[in-house]
A and B are shown apart, each in its own frame.
Chain A
Amino acid sequence: MTAFKKIEDHLRKEAKNLLEGGKVTLVLAYARGFDEKHPVPCVVKAAADADHLVFNEYCTYNMARYLTRYPVGTKIAVAVKGADSRAVVQLIQEGKVRRDDLVILGIPATGMKNQKTGEVIDAKTTASTINPVLYDVLLGDEIHGVKAGSPYDVLAEFEGMDKDARWAFWKKEFERCIRCYACRKACPMCYCDPCFMDASRPRWADKSPTDDGTLMYHLTRFYHLAGRCIDCGECSRACPVDIPLHLFHKKVAKECEAMFGQAAGMNIEDKPAMANFKGEDSDQMLG
């Protein structure tokens, strides 16, 4: 694997060239935060600022999350790791961003760490996508020979529970939810404006943090992400009270993959599973 420091050098160089050559007007990547272990997502607009960019094991953010902020037609270079690149692909499939507007700077990386715990997060979230699935420039060598497990391995314990135990599990987890909405806001696929939770006519769920409203929020969000979640794990990492949202998303993703034969954001030619109809689609969900 290419050392993070080297990737950082390449990132700076590419950003500088792209901005100088006028190929893009902005570069979405990472910069130093209040210390090294706490980088921040950043946008660079001038070649002279490219030297502020950083890359290290704490650059966990999925920068694809920021793409939908800019009007279609804005030329953007975006730094993406494996799972992040799937978000870009999924956004292209959904017509939210245009392939020609983007210069995708791919970063093959393993050993990314959770900022809060220092724990290596690969196995938890991005297990199957170490290398970006789509890119224009690679900022490091592709990684081969690492034994990548299935992204669904972490579900073993959860799947071992019966229906009642699962219900009890989620009810207990959601008791901690403070409805800060960091999960939806960190998610690259949660771009609805307004989100159903912010609508007041009709009001879909209690605005105050009642248990029922919280359940309504999460279950609806889980289903809105069906066939769209690209397994970056940002929702769980963003949560200030550590609710393992990615487990539910993975479970839905697994069932979706089994039913419709495609995982989200893997192939730019695919149509989003929930927006497509094929004769051979599973009708299991109807029965």
Chain B
Amino acid sequence: MKKIAIDQFSELVKVLAERGPLYAPVKGKEGVNFQAIKNPADVTLDFYNTVLSPKSVFFPQSEDMIRYRITHGATEAQPVPQESRPAVILGVRPCDVRSFEIMDRHFLGAGVIDPYWKSKRDNTTVIGFAFDVSAAADPADFYNTFGYGAADPEGSDVFMVRTDKALLLKSMTDRGKKLLDSLGFLQVAGAQDEKVFEETVKKGKAVRTRSAEINPQVIAKKLVSVFDNGEFWQKVTMACIACGACTYGCPTCYCFDISDEMLFKEGSRKRFWDACTFTDFTLEASGHNPRPRIFQRYRQKVCHKYSYHVDKYGCISCVGCGRCTRVCPVNIDIFSIVDEANKL
């Protein structure tokens, strides 16, 4: 295990940012969010969790796939080269780290490998970051439901714990070890530090979020059985205004739309985030929409995450980060809805 004094942290950031893309939490007007770091001084470690999820590092909100130019009678088209530089994402909370594995199942494990996700994922070292284990969890969080603790290092390449004066950095994978070994200026942590690290992980287990007994296989079946209970779905989604905030904030929502956008003779084929709650989500060219009503679209969201995803990929596609609830303009709370459905 390695460590670095807190007042030397900017040194670490500087080196990582010089080597290749570094994505880390930055404080903006809206709160803290992950950004590509240009100025090392921008990085902050003083935050609960980012407003939006870290998924944008691997799955940007908008991404050009093909660029083209229309000339006399012909179209020149070029696929956009994929990022191949090694990158680092630093400061990911434990529940969000788990979201990457869930997204992998879809983007890498569905029989078709998504080159856009893969190139970034393969080249990026994930530095996880324990929540402050002496503070209470946000009331919207419910990651305990999935068995995650506030300082679980699993899934990170390197896991980072903050103490009063230092940051402890423990490698969890070969990739993580390689990164730490390459940073010669880090100090070697002592036995005392190891103890603090282990204690933090343990204390993290005692930080309580909201939690419910949710067995993936059981809830998957349950939701199918209550699918036709329109009264229930309408009741729990009455307030929903059909925006995209919950989906765009969610680390495990992966729907995207594709469109050709052109200005004069040049354009690109892009893919960009879509949201199942949007009015035009499944609007067909004929004008028909199989899910014209808000409750049908929000039901799709819940059933996709807690039922269809279980059938297809063997796990629930939610990590209980609480973001959807926090960003929802009307406080729709997926946890309460699933819990209620479970008890029907």
B327 interface residue (CB < 8 Å to A): yes
Q: Are A185 and B261 in contact (CB under 8 A)?
A: no
Which among A39-47, A78-86, A160-168 touches the partner chain?
Answer: A39-47
B62 near A209 (CB under 8 angstroms)?
yes
Closest chain B CB from A54 CB (angstroms): 12
Say whether A41 contacts B238, CB under 8 Å. Answer: yes
- B230 lies within 8 A of chain A by Cβ: no
Asked whether A194 lies within 8 Å of B279 as measured between CB atoms, the reply is yes
Given contacts A34-B325, A42-B238, A208-B270, contact A181 B257 (CB under 8 A): no
Bound state CA distance, A198 and B249, in angstroms?
21
Contact of B331 with A40 in the complex, beta carbons under 8 Å: yes
Q: B62 touching A34 by the CB < 8 A rule?
A: no
A181-B243 in contact given A207-B261, A208-B261 (Cβ < 8 Å): yes
Interface majority SS (helix, strand, loop, mixed), chain B: loop
Question: Is the beta-carbon distance between B327 and A240 smaller than 8 angstroms?
Answer: yes
Using known A-B contacts A207-B272, A240-B327, A242-B30, determine if residue A178 contacts B248 with beta carbons closer than 8 Å: yes
Which residues of the partner chain B approach A77 to less than 8 Å between Cβ atoms? none
Q: B327-341 vs A: 1/0 string, CB under 8 Å?
A: 101111101100000
Q: Contacts A34-B139, A34-B333 given: A176-B29 contact, CB under 8 Å? A: yes
Docked-complex contact B249 and A240, CB < 8 angstroms: yes
Of residues A41, A185, A209, which shows the largest number of chain B Cβ atoms within 10 Å of its Cβ? A185
Measured between beta carbons, the chain A residues less than 8 angstroms from B62 are 208-210
Contacting residues of chain A (196-217) with chain B, CB-CB under 8 angstroms: 198, 206-210
Q: Tell whether B95 is near chain A: CB-to-CB under 8 Å.
A: no
**Does A178 lie within 8 Å of B238, measured CB to CB?**
no
Most buried by A among B28, B245, B257: B245
Q: Are A42 and B239 in contact (CB under 8 A)?
A: yes
A65 at the interface (CB under 8 A from B): yes
B288-331: contact bitstring with A at CB < 8 Å (1 yes, 0 no)?
00000000000000000000000000000000000001010111
B139 touches A35 (CB 8 A): yes
B229-249 contacts to A, CB under 8 A, are 238-239, 241-245, 247-249
Asked if B52 is at the interface of the complex by the 8 Å CB criterion, the answer is yes
Question: How many residues does chain A have at the interface if contact means C-beta atoms less than 8 Å apart?
Answer: 35
Q: Which of B28, B238, B245, B259 contacts A208 (CB 8 A)?
A: B259
User: Which residue on B lies nearest to A244, using beta carbons?
Assistant: B29
A208 to B256, CA, bound (A): 10
CB atoms of A208 and B279 under 8 A apart: no
Once the chains bind, are A33 and B245 in contact (CB under 8 Å)? no
Complexed CA–CA distance, A234 and B245 (Å): 14
In angstroms, Cα B327 to Cα A242, docked, is 11
Per-residue interface assignment for chain B, residues 117 to 140, with 1 indicating a CB less than 8 Å from any chain A CB and 0 otherwise: 000000000000000000000011
Q: Does A219 contact B (CB under 8 A)?
A: no
Knowing A241-B30, A242-B30, the reply to whether A182 touches B270 (Cβ < 8 A) is no
* B212: Cβ under 8 A from any A Cβ: no
Q: How far is the CB of A238 from chain B (nearest CB, A)?
A: 4
Which A residues are CB-close (under 8 A) to B66?
A: none
> Is the pair A178, B52 in contact by a Cβ cutoff of 8 Å?
yes
**How far is A138 from B278 in the complex, measured between Cα atoms in Å?**
36
**Are B257 and A237 within 8 A (Cβ)?**
no
Assembled-state Cα–Cα distance A237/B29 (Å): 14
**Please, how many angstroms separate the alpha-carbon atoms of A70 and B329 in the complex?**
21
Residues of A within 8 Å of B244, CB to CB, are 178-182
A13–B327 Cα gap in the complex (Å)?
Answer: 32
Point out the residues of chain B lying under 8 angstroms from A34, CB to CB: 139-140, 210, 325, 331, 333, 335-336
Q: Give Cα distance in the complex from A258 to B259, angstroms.
A: 43
CB closest chain-A residue, reference B246 = A180
- Type the 1/0 row for B268-288, where 1 means its CB is closer than 8 Å to any CB of A: 001010010011100000000
A41 engages B330 (CB within 8 Å): yes
A64 to B248, CA, bound (A): 26
Among B28, B210, B259, B327, chain A packs the most CB atoms within 10 A around the CB of: B327
Q: Is A186 in the interface zone, CB < 8 Å from B? A: yes
- Given known A34-B335, A207-B259, A210-B62, contact A241–B51 (CB-CB < 8 A): yes
Q: Which residue of chain A has its CB nearest to the CB of B323?
A: A240
A4-57 residues at the B interface, CB under 8 angstroms: 33-35, 38-43
Determine whether the beta carbon of A33 is less than 8 Å from that of B331. Answer: yes
Chain A's closest residue to B239 (CB) is A41
Judging by beta carbons under 8 Å apart, are A176 and B259 in contact?
no
- Check if A135 is an interface residue, CB within 8 A of chain B: no
Q: Do A65 and B336 have beta carbons less than 8 Å apart?
A: no
A43 adjacent to B238 (CB under 8 Å): yes
B78 at interface by CB-CB < 8 Å = no
- Residue B61, interface by CB 8 Å: yes
Decide: B243 and A180 in contact? CB cutoff 8 A.
Answer: yes
Q: 27 A-B pairs, CB-CB below 8 angstroms?
A: A34-B139, A34-B140, A34-B336, A40-B332, A41-B239, A41-B330, A176-B29, A176-B30, A178-B61, A178-B244, A178-B248, A181-B278, A182-B241, A182-B244, A185-B243, A186-B243, A186-B329, A198-B278, A206-B261, A207-B261, A207-B272, A210-B261, A240-B51, A241-B29, A241-B30, A241-B51, A242-B31
The 9 tightest CB contacts between A and B, nearest first, are A238-B329, A241-B30, A182-B243, A180-B244, A185-B241, A33-B331, A208-B272, A240-B327, A41-B239
**B residues apposed to A, CB below 8 Å:** 28-31, 51-52, 61-62, 139-140, 210, 238-239, 241-245, 247-249, 257, 259, 261, 270, 272, 275, 278-280, 325, 327, 329-333, 335-336
